[in-house]
Amino acid sequence: MAEKEATVIVVDLSPSMAESHMAAAKGQSDIEMLMKYVYDKVGSKVLSERKTDVVGIVGVGTDDTLNRMSEEDAYKHISILYQIRQLLYRDYQLLPTKLVPSLKSHGDLISGLVVAMDAIAEYCRHLKFIKNIVILSNCAMPLDFAGIDGIIDKLAEMKMNLSIFTVGADEETSTAMQRANHSLLSDFVDRVARRELNAIIAPFADVLRDLEIPHVRKVRSTNSYNGTLTIGDPNKFNDSLTIPVERFAYVKTATKINSVSYIKPKGNVSTSPTRQATNTLGRRIKYEITVTKESDDGNTGKDVQEVEKGDLKKGYRYGASVVPLSTEEEESLRFVTNISLDIIGFVPYDTIGPWQLLTETNFVMAKRTDKKATLCLSSLIHAMVENELYGIARFVIKNDRPPALILLIPFITDDFEALVETQLPFAEDVRSFKFPSLDIIRTIKGKILKEHHYLPTEEMKNNMKDFINAMDISNLTPEGLPADLGDPDGREFAAVGEIFDPVIANTRQAIMYRALHPEQDLPPPSDSLLRDTYPPEALVKQASPIANRLVESVNVKKIAKYKTNKRRYAAEGEEELKQESILNVDELIGGNANKNDAQRPASKRRKIYTTEDEEHGEFDIEAEIDKWQRIAAGPESDAALPRIFEQACADIDMLLSGENLDPAVVIKKVSILRSSAVKLDEPGWYNNYIVKLQDALVMGGLANSGRSKIWEELSMKGLGEIPLSDGYLEDDLVGL
């Protein structure tokens, strides 16, 4: 349980608050600026729905006067706008209409403080509360410091926290009055602070910066284990070690703000004075089974039937069978364990990869009231650190809970020592998927390749190393540039614990926004939330020459996605390339969709062509066209392109030498090849090939089997050499 807290906000509502005194506010009035604070502060409390986090708001400079001291002149035009209480949605919604600067009235801010103190004193009496007073003002009105000594005594007596946030009061454009007031308030705050109270005065720019830092809900942990840590079985050995310990959460995922589902009551709420209609929402758990029924006409159908809970037993699935287990049977199967934390042994730090850890972490610390235990555990922790050892232990959190294998990491800071505990996997928890080596390629035939387009060159590796070192963020100046070793301003960028959960912060902001603007769309998440999740700009800029060298050397190309071809990488099965081919055309350009495989998951199956050339299966002309068009359009690596082109040519040769030749397919392929060459601006590639092809078809080995006709058709369709004139791009779609 968090402590009870009472907060009173004193807001200056004198006419000058409608003006703008803060340069950075860009014309927004002082009250608009200060309301940002009010909305956030009050909104957080409304959202928390904590009954013990109460708020009151005092307006200074209101037209009316509403306070207990209203008889006295000094307290005129000071109103308690919100009595101290748990504020609810309606209260929040009314903030913009209630906190409006007056057109004519002035009040004294110090008197406002006194009204606030009085309200807190009345509400809290002698109960234990955290008491806060926040004063928001532009300091434009005269202040009456009469009796200030008594006020300070009273603040000290009540142990009040005091914050004064000024808007536009100490800027170059501020009036003499504002500046004088500001320095008087500063003196006042100094005097309060000397009484060992939390008292601050800050310009609103600082407050805005603080508002950007998301609010973290502090959770006080309770211990989740209260037992002993043992080394060796104390029941068997005299020299075993037993230390009383407790376990507390260290890292635990903060609960997100979850939505609720709700129902608006139906029907009319009765207005009759003698009748009252109440809608109660109830719930019950329904149990249903599916039964197979044979109807009169002999067909069997399925039917859902509700069953009573009393008729149900507990059971387990065993394949398609269901095995009911009675309570007694379950009892006899229970794995009996006793609450314990036994250290099994110690292992050097480097034997456990950090990726093997399974769970959130906890502190195992000596029982806090036990001096001897503290000393014992501390010795153990220091011994582990000195020898660089982790502990491995068997842990049963409660009797009859399954045992867990845990890792114990020694943890020492200036004034805190503990063992950090996290679970290790059992054999069943490890999936031994295998992935190929990254530094060599083993071909299926067992050959080892050290050069391949999948393998980085020395140049790429060196560039990557340079980049990694240039982008080191472990010690940066506030500007985001590398700091010298020992630079007092140098700090780790985005250290653990400095970045806030954007989902929680974003949800909070959205809820508070919706409360004030029910009809409007939600604003996008604020930029500040994600600022430190990007590399620091200055560093990126400085590292850019190194980065560019890296980018150039690795030459990564994004493959264009085709809308019409969502199921890429489906199995092909209709085309095979030469065995020696290291280059996998399909990988470079993506596979093509085979209509027959449309039902298959999209993630499947690329292939490497290792079998001997063989004509195989049906030729899918559409898939083929699709593929070659992609070559033409795709941003493949330039180095790879000639290879792809060669493969394509070899592919056509293969078709021509095979049986069951379909000339239409060849023509289609050649035409796609030609237009690809045009698009790639490499007419030479095509021309070299087509000349050879012509020779083969007309005079060479292919001429005999009637293949020469194909050449006739090719030339008829204008698929001969690409004329190397300036205008060759114009005929790029010939033959398609």
Partner 1 sequence: MDNDQFMNPVLDGEDAIEEFDFRNQKDAILYCIEVSPSMLATMNPAEPDDGTEPTSAARVALESAYMMLQQRIISQPSDAFGILLFGTKDQTDPAYENCLMLMDLAVPEASEIKYIKEILEDDQKFDSVFTPSDTPPSIVNTLFCANQQFNAKSGAYMFQRLFLVTNNDNPSDPRPDYRKSARTRVHDLIGLGVRIEPFFLYTEMQPFDTSKFWEDVIFSGYSSDDYVDIQPILITAKQGLQMKAHVKARQTPRHAIFSVPLEIVPGNLSIGIKGYVLFKRQDIQRSHYVYEQEGEKAVIARSHTQYTYTDTTTRLDTRAMKAEAKTEEIDKNEAKRGFKFGGEVLPFAPEEIQSLRNIGEAGIRIIGFKPIQLFDPSYNMRPSYFIYPSEEDYVGSIRTFAALHSSLLDENKYALAWVKATNRSSPFLAALVACPEIIEHENGRDEQKQSPGIFVIKQPFADDIRDFPAQPYNNIKGSP
Nearer to partner 1, 105 or 422 (CB): 422
478 binds partner 1 (CB under 8 A): no
Please list every residue from 47 through 66 that binds partner 1, using CB under 8 A: 47, 49
- Does 601 contact partner 1 by CB under 8 A? yes
**Identity of the residue, 186 or 361, whose beta carbon is nearer to partner 1 in the bound complex:** 361
Q: Which of 32, 170, 501, 653 binds partner 1 (CB under 8 A)?
A: 501
User: How far apart, in whole angstroms, are the C-alpha atoms of residue 111 and residue 145?
Assistant: 9
Q: What is the DSSP string of 356-404?
A: G--S--EEEEE-TT-HHHHHHHHHHHHHHHHTTEEEEEEEESSTTSPPE
User: Which span sits near partner 1 by CB under 8 A: 105-113, 141-149, 595-603, 712-720?
Assistant: 595-603
Q: Could you give the strand order of the β-sheet that contains 5-12, starting from the edge strand earlier in sequence?
A: 78-85, 53-60, 5-12, 130-137, 160-166, 199-203
Residue 146 or 289: the one with the smaller Cβ distance to partner 1 is 289
Query: Using CB under 8 A, which of the segments 3-11, 75-83, 535-543, 693-701 binds partner 1?
Result: 535-543
Cβ closest to partner 1, residue 65 vs residue 356 = 356
- Single residue of 68, 217, 566, 692 touching partner 1 by CB under 8 A: 217
Q: Give per-residue burial for 235-256: e unless 16+ CB within 10 Å, then b.
A: eeeeeeeebbbbbbebeeeeee
How many CA atoms does the CB half-sphere of 524 hold within 13 Å?
3
| Residue indicated by tokens 């509502």 | 13
Query: CB-side exposure of 404: number of CA atoms within 13 Å?
Result: 17
Does residue 542 interact with partner 1 by CB under 8 A? no
Cβ 601 to partner 1 shortest distance, Å: 7
What is the distance between the alpha carbons of residues 584 and 568, in angstroms, rounded to a whole number?
A: 15
9, 46, 55, 95: which one contacts partner 1 (CB under 8 A)?
46
State whether residue 82 is helix, strand or coil. strand
Question: Which of these segments, 65-73, 138-146, 539-547, 727-735, binds partner 1 (CB under 8 A)?
Answer: 539-547
Which of 595, 586, 672, 677 minimizes the C-alpha distance to 628? Answer: 672
The single residue among 194, 209, 368, 709 that binds partner 1, judged by CB under 8 A, is 368
Figure out which of the listed residues 599, 660, 704, 725 binds partner 1, where binding follows CB under 8 A.
Answer: 599
Residue whose CB is less far from partner 1, 457 or 705: 457
Find the binding residues for partner 1 in span 277-336 (CB under 8 A): 277-291, 307, 309, 311-325
State in angstroms the smallest separation of the CB of 114 from partner 1: 29
Query: Does residue 264 touch partner 1 according to CB under 8 A?
Result: yes
Q: In the complex with partner 1, which residue's Cβ is closer, 210 or 360?
A: 360
Question: Per CB under 8 A, which region of 5-13, 14-22, 457-465, 659-667 contacts partner 1?
Answer: 457-465
Closest CA to 612 of 565, 580, 650: 580
Q: Helix 502-516 crosses helix 30-48 at what angle (to 10 degrees)?
A: 110
Is residue 450 close enough to count as binding partner 1 by CB under 8 A? no
Q: Name the residue type at position 162.
A: L
Q: How far is CA 450 from CA 442, 455, 456, in A?
A: 9, 7, 9
729 forms part of the interface with partner 1 (CB under 8 A): no
Indicate the residue type of 275: R
Give least dist CB 703 to partner 1, A: 28
Per-position x/- string for 548-587, each x denoting binding to partner 1 as judged by CB under 8 A, each - no binding: x-xx--xxxxxx-x------xx-x-x--x-------x--x
Alpha carbon distance 49, 91 (integer Å)? 13
- Indicate which single residue of 377, 649, 702, 710 sits in contact with partner 1 (rule: CB under 8 A): 377
734: left (phi over 0), alpha (psi -120 to 50) or beta: beta
Cα(642)–Cα(682) distance, integer angstroms: 10
Give the chain's length: 736
CB of 658 to partner 1, least distance (A): 13
Q: Does 517 bind partner 1 (CB under 8 A)?
A: no
Print the binding letters for residues 71-100 with partner 1: x by CB under 8 A, - otherwise.
----------------xxxxxx--------
Q: In angstroms, what CA-CA distances link 708 with 53, 68, 649, 650, 711?
A: 93, 111, 18, 18, 5
Name which of 66 and 547 has its Cβ closer to partner 1. Answer: 547
Full 3-state SS string of 591-606: CCCCHHHCCCCCCCCC
Q: Counting contacts by CB under 8 A, is residue 218 touching partner 1? A: yes
- Phi/psi of residue 650, each to 5°? -60, -35
Q: How far apart are alpha carbons 642 and 617 in whole angstroms?
A: 27
Q: Report the residue from 2, 24, 200, 522 that binds partner 1 according to the rule CB under 8 A.
A: 522
Least distance (Å) between residue 110 CB and partner 1: 32
Report the distance separating Cα 549 and Cα 403, nearest Å: 53
Q: For partner 1, which is the closer residue by CB, 397 or 471?
A: 471
The per-residue DSSP string of 119-137 comes to HHHHHHTTS--EEEEEEEE
Contacts of 250 (CB under 8 A, 6+ apart): 360, 361, 362, 363, 420
Q: Smaller CB distance to partner 1: residue 361 or 694?
A: 361
* Number of C-beta neighbours around residue 276 at 10 A: 8
Residue 413 CB contacts under 8 Å (≥ 6 apart), including other chains: none
Tokens of 173: 């454009």
**Is residue 611 within the footprint of partner 1 (CB under 8 A)?**
yes
Footprint (CB under 8 A) of partner 1, residues 458-477: 460-461, 463-465, 467-469, 471-474
Contact with partner 1 (CB under 8 A) among 488, 518, 520, 726: 518
Applying CB under 8 A, among 26, 431, 447, 563 the residue interacting with partner 1 is 431
Stretch that binds partner 1, among 28-36, 113-121, 337-345, 372-380 (CB under 8 A): 372-380
Which contiguous run of DSSP H or E holds residue 347? strand 340-348
- The window from 104-112, 138-146, 233-241, 263-271 that contacts partner 1 (CB under 8 A) reads 263-271
Tell me which residues in 339-358 interact with partner 1 (CB under 8 A): 352-358
Q: Which stretch binds partner 1 (CB under 8 A): 61-69, 115-123, 130-138, 373-381?
A: 373-381
Q: Residue 22's closest CA among 206, 170, 185, 167?
A: 167
400: its two tokens: 């009859």
Q: Is 676 in the site for partner 1 (CB under 8 A)?
A: no
**Least distance (Å) from partner 1 to the CB of residue 345?**
17
Enumerate residues 391-430 that contact partner 1 by CB under 8 A.
402, 407, 409, 411, 413, 415-418, 420, 422-423, 425-426, 428-430
| 471/703 with CB nearer partner 1 | 471
507 in contact with partner 1 (CB under 8 A):
yes
Of 435, 488, 527, 563, the one binding partner 1 by CB under 8 A = 435
Does 481 interact with partner 1 (rule: CB under 8 A)? no
Residue 267's contacts (CB-CB under 8 Å, 6 or more residues apart) are 277, 279
Whichever of 236 and 561 has its CB closer to partner 1, that residue is: 561
Q: CA neighbours within 13 Å on the CB side: how many for 557?
A: 17
Judged by beta carbon, residue 72 or residue 308, the one nearer partner 1 is 308
* Contacts to partner 1 from residues 232-251, by CB under 8 A: 246, 248-251
Question: Do β-strands 53-60 and 5-12 pair in parallel, antiparallel, or remain unpaired?
Answer: parallel
Report how many residues bind partner 1 under the rule CB under 8 A.
220
Among 6-14, 113-121, 129-137, 383-391, the segment contacting partner 1 (CB under 8 A): 383-391
Cβ atoms of residues 511 and 215 within 8 Å? no
Residue 256 found at the interface with partner 1 (CB under 8 A) = yes
